[in-house]
Amino acid sequence: MLADVRQEFRRHQRLAQEAMTQLDAAGFFQRPAPHVNPVALIVKHLGGNLRSRWTGFLTSDGEKPDRDRDREFVLTDADTRDHLMAAWQQGWAALWGTLESLSDCGLEQRVTIRGEGHTVRQALMRGLTHVAYHTGQILYVVRLLRPESRWLTIPPDQSRNHPGDYFQSRTPQR
């Protein structure tokens, strides 16, 4: 199971990062509508979430006391693209470090997230679902802001031209 979970996390990280390369600085911070988060805030939130959840995964609550989730949805002067991407990379590094330390035989071990008990398996699925949700948001916002951008998934009317190579497209770790 862990090999499959790693593959899916890698796929979502790659999709999100490739989508972000299609935005210039203004697009990265552009709010598509008044109550829609710009990619910058999604990056800030996901970086904070990954760092919190996957640092000390087996030994501490996944909601760290130093995390201020509400501030992850507020842009400040310190939130440059480079700063936000560095926090994004820190979050992913915490995830990759934790995933490398786990084994399939430990999937029923108990961990805590926000005071709630989970098996490692449940926490992995919760984390993967969260990453997938925000990856979809990033791809959608990029498509909305840059409709001419390159398709990172199968483009409309191209399904018949794409063979079933989902598992053959595995990329090396990180």
Q: Tell me the pLDDT tens digit for each residue of 45-66.
A: 999 999 999 999 999 999 999 9
Domains of the chain: 2-155 (1.20.120.450)
Beta bridge partners of 119: 110
| Direct distance between the N- and C-terminal alpha carbons of the chain, in angstroms, rounded to an integer | 18
Structure token digits, residue 128: 């993967």
Structure token digits, residue 145: 């802001």
What is the spatial distance between Cα 103 and Cα 93, in angstroms, rounded to a whole number?
Answer: 18
- pTM (2 decimals)? 0.91
Q: Tell me the pLDDT tens digit for each residue of 27-37.
A: 999 999 999 99
